[in-house]
Structure 1
């Protein structure tokens, strides 16, 4: 049984602490009896007293649960009154067990002896009440903390899903327009190939959880599906150069994190070049970090402090937001001019190795 599951089950947790606490009380008294060299029959008295205390404090639990939301002064008054009444009754039971079993009917004459023994029992019950409220407050704080974490996680996941799914319609509309154009010019074979590859790509996006990370090798497979669709549009005008190390292929990263960057390169670079262009994809692992680079040899774009002066669609912004949501401050996303021409994007994220592909 895991400790956390025990704490979460309040009914079971109460009884475990209740029984363990009174066993501990009995052990302390037993050790004390050995110090004072009491007779063996006193052990039986100790067990009876602990058993009586265990039973008498159980009703306090249900009483405290009923007044849990009462005003503070009412709560304090009830706790002290109930502890005093329970402690006094428990003291009577303890004295009865002691005098009848251990001392064979002995009765002391001093009245303060009764009072002293009664107050000792009340103090113990007050300690029990304090522990009950302390543990109860701790459980409530843990419960609220778990609710807050769950709400934060759900919001986190909703944000990631929104960012991922916001990209798919944008790409889908472009592809459907391209298919429509191919049909209009009676390029039915190319249109059929494009529909087939679009189907494969969409199947991949639907089967991949946007919250989970995927190996880079799997991500590259999805990118090739996407690029094959685009190659139907651009034919030989679109070239792709991939340079990925074997170690980097096993790195985990958010699914389809590179697709909007490549889509931007095609839309704002390749599409404007009459002779076509080349997109390069590089990846390597260095110093326990995954280094990714996507570049093109297009006309480039105006940059200021590593940011686009004129925003070009939602792809770049969504990619940055996804990285920030997943990695907080432990990542980098840098835009820079490519050599000799074009634009390149460098991404750095922590290296997480996939167990298997």
Structure 2
């Protein structure tokens, strides 16, 4: 990594570099602009002293503006304007002291408006500093959003690859095809044909659907029903599925195939290990501006450490969390907890979008 890349990737180094270069440039431009006025060392000293005072006084603005950006727009504007005026006023006083006490050796004019003019000039300079600061911050925010979008795209494709590995694993296909073969041997041709049709539709959705785009929960539930109908042929009465989907959730947008790994997880680690079978409960509801999704089973459960399942060959949980983080940054929740009286419950909270 080059030094320039290290500079722009570190906010601290970038700030102090631009801050120092900016005030050095101010001193240079000020000196060039007043070259005909005075070239004595004392005048150069005054310019450097004023630039250093400006450098020092504008440092606190960085931390004030950082806090102001977290407030409401109106409050942010008030804080920014007042902060700029106070800093400009203090800087104007410092410049007046430097000019009249050091450069003029104590001589002061009687015209008060010269002091006011100096304040206006200081305010313009501080305003330029503020505009540059917010301009750079907004540019960084835009770049970060582009990076997040690119990361989300990359993570979605990676998640899609993992998803296909899970969905098209030999065990799933073998069990499904074996069930179809058994149905054919038992002359249950209608059921076998329906199962082949469901498997075809499910695989087509898995392969053709773009993992970057979000789909309606209603469409996602439709595909999940296909998947569970395929699994029900294997487990027969041992698999009981309870749906609790609020009507207003059907149009909510969710990442494609976000719930299927959770259901597969429940079937693999809960239903298949229970002699008399078990139940999977799937619910969806809205709460304020959020969509709450819930997948629970009544299986034997598992050990949970730090909010993660502690067992080997878990399917898709890390995948799901990575996708949610890439798509929603911090505006989501993903938790794994013990179900009552037994089993595992996985809860998801994402923004409600239609």
The bucket for the TM-score relative to the shorter chain is: 0.5 to 0.7
Q: CA 1:244–1:143 in structure 2 vs 1: closer, same or farther (change >3 Å)?
A: closer
Equivalent of 2:160, from 161, 164, 174? Answer: 164
Q: CA 1:297–1:147 in structure 2 vs 1: closer, same or farther (change >3 Å)?
A: closer
Q: Does residue 250 of structure 2 align to residue 254 of structure 1?
A: no
Q: Secondary structure at the match of 2:346?
A: strand
Q: Secondary structure at the match of 2:205?
A: helix
Cα distance, 1:220 vs structure 2: 0.4
Q: Distance in 1 between matches of 2:347 and 2:141?
A: 38
Verify the 8 A CA contact 2:217 2:254 in the aligned structure 1: yes
The answer for the alignment partner of 1:198 in structure 2 is 199
Matches within 5 A, 1:77-96: none
Verify the 8 A CA contact 1:179 1:191 in the aligned structure 2: no
Q: Distance in 1 between matches of 2:266 and 2:252?
A: 24
Matches within 5 A, 1:199-348: 199-348=200-349
Q: Distance in 2 between matches of 1:295 and 1:219?
A: 17
Q: CA 1:296–1:148 in structure 2 vs 1: closer, same or farther (change >3 Å)?
A: closer
Q: CA 1:146–1:251 in structure 2 vs 1: closer, same or farther (change >3 Å)?
A: closer
The answer for the alignment partner of 2:179 in structure 1 is 182
Ranges in structure 1 where 5+ consecutive residues have no aligned partner: 1-141
Cα distance, 1:338 vs structure 2: 0.7
Verify the 8 A CA contact 2:270 2:301 in the aligned structure 1: yes
Q: CA 1:295–1:184 in structure 2 vs 1: closer, same or farther (change >3 Å)?
A: same
Verify the 8 A CA contact 2:334 2:347 in the aligned structure 1: yes
Q: CA 1:317–1:144 in structure 2 vs 1: closer, same or farther (change >3 Å)?
A: closer
Cα distance, 1:155 vs structure 2: 4.0
The answer for the alignment partner of 1:49 in structure 2 is none
Cα distance, 1:168 vs structure 2: 1.9
Query: Taking structure 2 as the reference length, what is the TM-score of the superposition?
Result: 0.55
Q: Distance in 2 between matches of 1:180 and 1:200?
A: 15
Cα distance, 1:277 vs structure 2: 0.8
Q: Secondary structure at the match of 1:325?
A: helix
Q: Distance in 2 between matches of 1:279 and 1:199?
A: 24
Q: CA 1:144–1:306 in structure 2 vs 1: closer, same or farther (change >3 Å)?
A: closer
Q: Secondary structure at the match of 1:295?
A: strand
Q: CA 1:151–1:287 in structure 2 vs 1: closer, same or farther (change >3 Å)?
A: closer
Q: Distance in 1 between matches of 2:219 and 2:199?
A: 17
Q: CA 1:224–1:331 in structure 2 vs 1: closer, same or farther (change >3 Å)?
A: same
Cα distance, 1:258 vs structure 2: 0.3
Query: Taking structure 1 as the reference length, what is the TM-score of the superposition?
Result: 0.55
The answer for the alignment partner of 2:135 in structure 1 is none
Cα distance, 1:143 vs structure 2: 11
Cα distance, 1:323 vs structure 2: 0.7
Cα distance, 1:318 vs structure 2: 0.5
Q: Report the structure number with the largest CA radius of gyration.
A: 1
Q: Distance in 2 between matches of 1:201 and 1:195?
A: 10
Q: Secondary structure at the match of 1:336?
A: strand
Q: Distance in 2 between matches of 1:226 and 1:245?
A: 21
Verify the 8 A CA contact 2:290 2:349 in the aligned structure 1: yes
Ranges in structure 2 where 5+ consecutive residues have no aligned partner: 1-137
Q: CA RMSD in A?
A: 2.9
Q: CA 1:210–1:339 in structure 2 vs 1: closer, same or farther (change >3 Å)?
A: same
Q: CA 1:181–1:165 in structure 2 vs 1: closer, same or farther (change >3 Å)?
A: same
Cα distance, 1:198 vs structure 2: 1.2
